[in-house]
């Protein structure tokens, strides 16, 4: 039995075309791009080519791309760097309660340093009310940070509208586009984004490389101090092979975007329709409007059972998915995204995410649909919550779900 990987929002395998262009940069073209001699010159061109490939994917200019080590670094740099550079101007950040920890934990750290943060709430579908955003703006607001798409639910946020609001009030706008890029069109000009973060390993490049787009003329303090690399934005010798791989992955993503969307969307819809029709007592997490969700993501909660035990059962069939249960998050609380959406607590513990990728096939989806209903039923038959007439715990009483 072959394995079925449905956890592309966690990471993706390096694409063969990407690996192929990377390999020469480990042995033959090993130079330091900052060196003036032949070895350095061999690689500096490759770095600049990659910068063009990355820039083309979200319609900016290569000089606005800073290579970093991962999405978390990019988010940290964008937020801390902005707040530090603009500290004379203000001390208030507006973000959302459903951001990735790379943004949320950074904001919470800054709160401890004396900054003010507003965490915008979301509705039960996980969507924002932009009136809340405008109402939260004060004369001290220097940064708005809203993710382009959510990693757990796949919800896509109205980045263009938020960009217009940011411009209207002359506030810097950062977006974590780690999940969006390569899956849907991402255009920094249309959306008026000032800072945007991507991560290589979500789009078929290796782990350990990412990029931060910084709009020309945007003042930002450095996070990493040292050499003059990346126009003094980010010190440290560049991960040349990784960056070359990221460039190739971005080039492929741009060329294949329409085809990817249609193909993956059809498979996800097949999975979603199948799950919703074959398994009773389930809840879709995220917006039911599929146009406003990433084409590859399905997040559902199966009432009466817990997420980790479902994942382990699916794993026995070689199926890899992920869960928002406490057990898989390494804490005692289920996912903060489910908490922010006010998902009833046992349902939050059972939230299960299937995220498809370019290598997913129709027969894999059919295999999941064959295995899933019986697996869910087996765990339900073991559950003290099933068929016992208990009522769900209301949002008002779910004390342990963290609400920011």
Assess whether 388 carries a catalytic annotation.
no
Q: How far apart are CB 10 and other proteins at their closest, in Å?
A: 16
244 lines the binding site for other proteins (CB under 8 A): no
Which position has the token pair 């979500």? Answer: 202
Q: Given the complex with other proteins, which of 171 and 345 has the nearer CB atom?
A: 345
10 contacts other proteins (rule: CB under 8 A): no
Task: Give the total of residues touching other proteins (CB under 8 A).
Answer: 28
Minimum CB distance to other proteins, residue 108 (Å): 22
**Is 401 a binder of other proteins (CB under 8 A)?**
yes
Catalytic: which of 70, 107, 327, 342?
327
Among 31, 245, 334, 357, binds other proteins (CB under 8 A): 334
CB of 398 to other proteins, least distance (A): 6
CB nearer to other proteins: pick between 11 and 329? 329
DSSP string spanning 359-395? T--HHHHHHHHHHHHHHHHHHHHT-TTTTS-PPPPPG
Q: Which of 39, 30, 35, 138 is nearest to 90 (CA)?
A: 138
Residue with structure tokens 């990407």? 18
The reply on whether position 327 binds other proteins by CB under 8 A is yes
Q: Which residues are CB-neighbours of 335 under 8 A, at least 6 positions away?
A: 152, 324, 325, 329, 348, 351
CA distances from 104 to 71, 98, 101, 226, 293 (A): 13, 8, 5, 27, 21
Footprint (CB under 8 A) of other proteins, residues 254-313? 304-309, 312-313
Smallest distance from other proteins to CB 101, Å: 17
Enumerate residues 6+ apart whose C-beta is below 8 A from 367: 4, 317, 319
Sequence length of the chain is 404
Query: Where in 335-394 is the site for other proteins (CB under 8 A)?
Result: 345-346, 349, 381-385, 393
Beta bridge partners of 298: 354
- The residues annotated with a catalytic role in the active site are 327
- Interface positions with other proteins (CB under 8 A): 304-309, 312-313, 316, 325-327, 330, 332, 334, 345-346, 349, 381-385, 393, 398-401
């Amino acid at each position: 039995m072959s394995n079925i990987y449905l956890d592309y929002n966690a990471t993706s395998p390096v694409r063969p075309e990407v690996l192929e262009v990377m390999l020469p940069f480990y042995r033959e073209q090993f130079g330091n791009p900052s060196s003036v001699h032949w070895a350095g010159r061999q690689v500096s061109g490759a770095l600049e080519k990659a910068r063009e490939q990355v820039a083309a994917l979200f319609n900016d200019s290569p000089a606005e791309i800073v290579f970093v080590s991962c999405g978390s670094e990019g988010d940290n740099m964008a937020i801390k760097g902005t707040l530090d550079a603009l500290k004379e101007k203000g001390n208030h950040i507006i973000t959302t309660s459903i951001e990735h920890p790379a943004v949320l934990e950074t904001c919470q750290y800054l709160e401890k340093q004396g900054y003010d943060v507003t965490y915008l709430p979301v509705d039960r579908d996980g969507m924002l009310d932009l009136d809340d955003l405008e109402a939260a703006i004060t004369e001290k607001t220097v940064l708005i940070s809203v993710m382009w798409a959510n990693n757990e639910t796949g919800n896509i946020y109205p980045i263009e509208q938020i960009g217009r609001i940011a411009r209207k009030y002359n506030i810097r706008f950062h977006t974590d586009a780690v999940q969006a890029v390569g899956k849907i069109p991402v255009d920094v000009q249309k959306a008026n984004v000032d800072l945007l973060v991507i991560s290589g390993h979500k789009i078929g490049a290796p782990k350990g490389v990412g990029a931060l787009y910084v709009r020309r003329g945007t003042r930002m303090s450095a996070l990493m101090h040292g050499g003059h690399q990346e126009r003094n934005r980010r010190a440290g010798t560049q991960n040349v092979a990784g960056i070359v791989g990221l460039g190739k992955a971005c080039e492929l993503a741009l060329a294949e975007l329409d085809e990817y969307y249609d193909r993956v969307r059809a498979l996800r819809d097949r999975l979603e329709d199948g799950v919703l029709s074959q398994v009773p007592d389930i809840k879709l997490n995220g917006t039911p409007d599929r146009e406003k969700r990433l084409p590859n993501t399905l997040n559902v909660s199966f009432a009466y059972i817990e997420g980790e035990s479902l994942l382990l059962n699916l794993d026995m069939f070689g199926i890899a998915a992920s869960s928002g249960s406490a057990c898989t998050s390494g804490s005692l609380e289920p996912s903060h995204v489910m908490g922010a959406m006010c998902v009833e607590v046992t349902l939050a513990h059972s939230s299960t995410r299937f995220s498809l990728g370019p290598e997913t096939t129709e027969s894999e989806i059919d295999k999941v649909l064959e295995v899933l209903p019986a697996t869910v039923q087996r765990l339900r038959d073991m559950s003290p919550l099933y068929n016992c007439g208990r009522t769900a715990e209301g949002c008002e009483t779910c004390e342990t779900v963290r609400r920011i």
